[in-house]
Chain A
Amino acid sequence: MFATGDATLHRAAAGDHESFATLIHEHQDMVFSIAWHFLHDRARAEEIAQEVFLQLYRALGEIESPAHLTFWLRRVTANRCIDESRRRWRVVTLDQAADIARAADETDPLLIRRVGQLLQRLPAQQRLAITMRYQEGLEPSEIGEILDMPLNTVKSHLRRGLSALREWLGVTL
Chain B
Amino acid sequence: MNIDGTLRKTVTRTSAPEGIAAGVLSRLDQTSTRQPFRPASSMLWRVAAAVVLTAALAGLTAHQVIEHRRTEGERARREVMTALHIASSKMRAAQHAIAHD
Contact = CB atoms under 8 A, between A and B. Distances in A.
Interface of A: 17, 20-21, 24-25, 28-33, 36-37, 42, 46, 49-50, 53-54, 57, 104-107, 111-112, 115-116, 119, 130-131, 134-135, 162, 165-166, 169, 171, 173
A27 B13 CA distance: 11
B6 A29 contact: no
B7 A21 contact: no
B97 interface: no
Interface string B67-80: 00000000000000
Contacts of B2: 106, 173
A134 B8 contact: yes
Interface stretch (B24-32, B39-47, B56-64, B82-90): B24-32
B6 A106 contact: yes
A130 B3 contact: no
A46 B20 contact: yes
B36 interface: no
Contact of B17 (A17, A32, A119): A32
> Is chain A's binding surface mostly helix, strand, loop or mixed?
helix
Contacts of A31: 16
A107 B8 CA distance: 10
A50 B16 contact: no
Given A57-B28, A162-B3, A169-B1, A107 B9 contact: yes
Nearest to A23: B21
Contact of A165 (B3, B12, B14, B25): B3
Interface of B: 1-17, 20-21, 23-25, 27-28
Given A57-B24, A106-B1, A134-B11, 11 more contacts: A17-B28, A24-B21, A28-B16, A29-B15, A32-B20, A33-B12, A119-B10, A135-B11, A169-B1, A171-B3, A173-B3
B6 A112 contact: yes
A130 B24 contact: no
Contacts of B11: 37, 116, 119, 130-131, 134-135
B20 A24 contact: yes
12 contacts: A21-B25, A29-B13, A32-B17, A33-B13, A50-B27, A53-B24, A54-B28, A57-B28, A107-B9, A115-B7, A116-B11, A166-B3
Contacts of A25: 21
Contacts of B17: 32, 42, 46
A14 B2 CA distance: 48
Contacts of B27: 50, 54
A24 to B, nearest CB: 4
